Amino acid sequence: MADANKRNIPIKLGDFSIIDTEFSSIRERFDAEMRKMEEEMNKFRHELMSREANFFETSSSTKKTTTKTSSSSAQNSLSRPAPRQNYISDISSPLIQEDGDSKMLKLRFDVSQYAPEEIVVKTVDQKLMVHAKHEEKSDTKSVYREYNREFLLPKGVNPESIRSSLSKDGVLTVEAPLPAITAGETMIPIAHK
């Protein structure tokens, strides 16, 4: 493995508490998530009801003419695809947060059982690696703990832009700006044989 692809990321010690900052507004975030789920359920309910209404309107109006037309019309309304929405754009990940016009990858690791000097954050190629090791030895006991996490970074993430911070309650936060996605057309050539 070449050392050119390996980079240690410094850990900034913070005098903040993740518990205080993240969970102070938990009720508002919970309510917002509940509203979002209720909106999704209402959309689903509305789509289901309109499909059902269209099915019965189509089948009852065509039943008056012939049975064959009725069954094919009912089949068509059942097999008709739902209006295609861009569900990909609606997906929100707890790992990705919007920061104005840009998006930020944000990862959290509970390393509260380790001292700051026992924690190492580094990148190797496109992998983010968090490693912590604790050893205690005395005449009567021996304690050994190790923490390893690997995360494959999305393409285009610059390892030089990754920042990490450690809260006073032992939560390591690693942040990296995500590259902007170009939404242009790409022509794909067709191979002729």
pLDDT in tens, 116-150: 999 999 999 889 999 999 999 999 999 999 999 99
Residue 27 has pLDDT above 90, yes or no: no
pLDDT of residue 71: 41
First to last CA, the chain: 41
Q: Give the domain ranges of the chain.
A: 3-15+94-177, 27-89
Secondary structure letter of residue 173 according to DSSP: E
Q: How confident is the model at residue 164 (pLDDT cuts 50, 70, 90)?
A: very high
User: Tokens 């240690």 sit at which residue?
Assistant: 8
Would the annotation count 136 as a binding residue? yes
Would the annotation count 134 as a binding residue? yes
Strands 163-166 and 11-13, sheet pairing:
parallel
pLDDT in tens, 35-88: 899 888 888 888 887 777 776 665 544 444 444 434 444 444 444 444 444 333
Give me the percent of the chain exceeding a pLDDT of 70. Answer: 69
Q: What is the CATH number assigned to the segment(s) 3-15+94-177?
A: 2.60.40.790
Average pLDDT over all residues of the chain: 76
Query: Which is more confidently placed, 43 or 15?
Result: 43
pLDDT of residue 87: 36
Task: Look up the pTM and report it.
Answer: 0.51
Asked if 119 and 133 touch (Cβ cutoff 8 Å), the reply is no
Give Cβ neighbours of residue 23 (< 8 Å, ≥ 6 apart).
none
